[in-house]
Amino acid sequence: MCGIFGIVTKKEQNLGSILVEAAKRLTYRGYDSVGVATLSGSTIDLRKDAGRVEDVAAKYKLTEMNGTRGITQLRWATFGEPSQVNSQPHLDSDGDMVGAHNGNVVNNVELRKQFMAEGLLVRSQNDGESCVHAVERYINQGQDFIQAIRNAYNDLQGDYAFVIGKINDDKLFAIKKGSGLVVGIGEDFTCLSSDLPSILPLTRKIIRLEDGEIVTLKADGVELHSVIDGSIIIREAETITEEMNAVQKGGFAHFMLKEIHEQPDVARELLHVLQKSEAVKVILDKIKNARQVYLIGCGTSYHACQAGSVYFAQLANRSAVPVVATQFIEQFLPTLNNQDVGIFVSQSGETKDVLNAINASKESGMTCFGLSNVIGSTLTRAVAEWLPLCCGYEISVPATKTFTNQIIAFLYLAYQLGGKDMNSLDDLPGLMETTIRTTMLQVEALTPDINKWDDLYCLGYGATYSIALEGALKLKEITYAHCEGMLSTEFKHGPLSAVIKGLPILFVAGPNNVPLIVSGLNEVTCRGGRAIAIGEEDEQLKTNASDVITLPKSNPWFSSLLSVIPLQLLSYQMAVARGFDPDFPRNLSKTLTVD
């Protein structure tokens, strides 16, 4: 989830300050390195390094850079470790073009081999450089920029937005494919960015690009072309009236709601990255030959481990034990040896309980792998291999998109391990979009009645047990109501006594488990409780539940993931109705670095 910004001005001026401020307004997207390039006449001034914007700007005096055109990029590492050489922007072979991208080019490794075989100078492992060379190879054939970008577009697989410029020119060129790209039009300048926040302090007049569109930035205006046939596209600019805070939240009232809606996009990005990940192969080989596999995490990450355990068993016939990190040391550490494998999960990569478990496990000889959303975190440095979650910043304290991507990572590994149809996973982001769209109104309708209660239960079974635990945690985190997550079959062994007239009991019903859930629904309704089922369209659920929140048709493993979305939305709606800020619940921190 990188960020790019580019600007073209009528006359040479200090662009460094503008570019650094634009970069700062993109930092919420998540990044580990920053770079700035300015172009003036026959000169390109490129300065970049790993680190925070403020530190790199001070070290390389970025605010002193001049030019008529400029590009800045914040990189969140996927291809190539965080380093100066892998930081963006990147030069072409001869140093007369410079460009940067946001997104992932999933055939990066193959392209780098092609470019080197063609005699191009490849300096880094980063896919942003591949975007530059993809254009360069056609420019070298005598094509103009528009035609070169059109051909490069067909070579670059994945989702990205890309900007490039050349010496002795007065323009920048950019293209959108999957990743966001917005153009700003001002007096004697034009600019573009991954996001509105970096544009709005300069101009409120914008044009939103669509996928498959090329934009040419000139000081006195912009021109849009279709990547399909090169034809000119006419689109009127619009004027933005929202305040900056609203724009940073994408027009949503809170970051949590924005991040719920981002889940399909980050799911797509993760799947693209996993498809080309060498670490996936290493991890799977170790799992296949392991004596025992453990999935270790805390809180939300532990719930993802619970789901992963079910996926491994049902899809790959592989036992994997989910364990809370602190309990792992007490319960399993004395039994470990070098034939065992552990996958340690932490959104931040700094969770102290998880790091303690890693350090203890490594001493036992166990092979340690990781899942984290933060490149360069302590977890990523402590394990043998790790997989990124590709979520960018998750600003809201309650985890949403990081949880679903943790589950998708486990689902992907289980599909690979079990030899399942990997292409079917491509349907998942679209199903997530449908779920958000179709369940939002259903949840809003039920929220007023559920919100009257301060004691709730959320029940699941099999793959949905982990979802019940996560749904209950979300309700506790941001509504401050007590909600207990548990196995639906355990409810009758004691907690059923708590049911009184009207008490809402949430049932997360997997499509294969409806007959089992029906008994639980009736145990609640016959005692006057309100049984609310979350599941696919099913006559038995309709007949036996008080209310049904309906999910789109999929399969038992997709359905379990989709079912967390209405629970996220319910937690959000209840928190707002109670007057609480869902982004910053009391007493909680995003990163827990204490025991």
Q: How far apart are CA 141 and CA 135, in angstroms?
A: 10
**Strand order across the beta sheet in which 221-226 lies:** 90-91, 97-105, 158-166, 172-177, 213-218, 221-226, 232-233
Residue 556 in tokens = 């038992």
What are the Cα distances from residue 64, in Å, to 46, 531, 534, 548?
A: 12, 64, 57, 60
Reported as half-sphere exposure (CB side, CA atoms, 13 A), residue 49 has a value of 13
Q: Which of 5, 3, 7 is nearest to 222 (CA)?
A: 7
Instruction: Please work out, in degrees rounded to the nearest 5, the angle formed at the alpha carbon of residue 425 by the alpha carbons of 402 and 112.
Output: 85
Contact 39, 69 (CB under 8 A): yes
Instruction: Kindly name the residue from 218, 362, 476, 590 that is annotated as catalytic.
Output: 590
Scanning the structure block, which residue is given the tokens 């205006």?
A: 221
Alpha helices per DSSP H over 199-351: 244-248, 255-261, 263-275, 278-288, 300-316, 325-332
Sign, CA torsion 574/576/582/588: negative
H/E run at residue 135: helix 127-139
The neighbour count for residue 584, using CB atoms within 10 Å, is 17
Which amino acid would we find at residue 478?
I
Q: Which of 587, 231, 240, 265 is nearest to 401 (CA)?
A: 265
H/E run at residue 182: strand 182-186
Instruction: Kindly name the residue from 2, 390, 458, 483 that is annotated as catalytic.
Output: 2
Q: Which of 204, 228, 233 is nearest to 216 (CA)?
A: 233
Strands (DSSP E) contained in 187-263 are: 189-193, 205-208, 213-218, 221-226, 232-233, 238-239
Residue 2 appears among annotated catalytic residues? yes
Residue 200 in tokens = 């709005």
Contact 161, 5 (CB under 8 A): no
Q: How far apart are CA 270 and CA 268, in angstroms?
A: 5
Alpha helices per DSSP H over 159-277: 244-248, 255-261, 263-275
Residue 590 appears among annotated catalytic residues? yes
- Contacts of residue 245, Cβ cutoff 8 Å, sequence gap at least 6: none
The CA-based diameter of the chain, rounded to the nearest angstrom, is 81
Instruction: Output DSSP code: residue 178.
Output: B
End-to-end CA distance of the chain: 30
Indicate which residues carry an active-site annotation.
2, 590
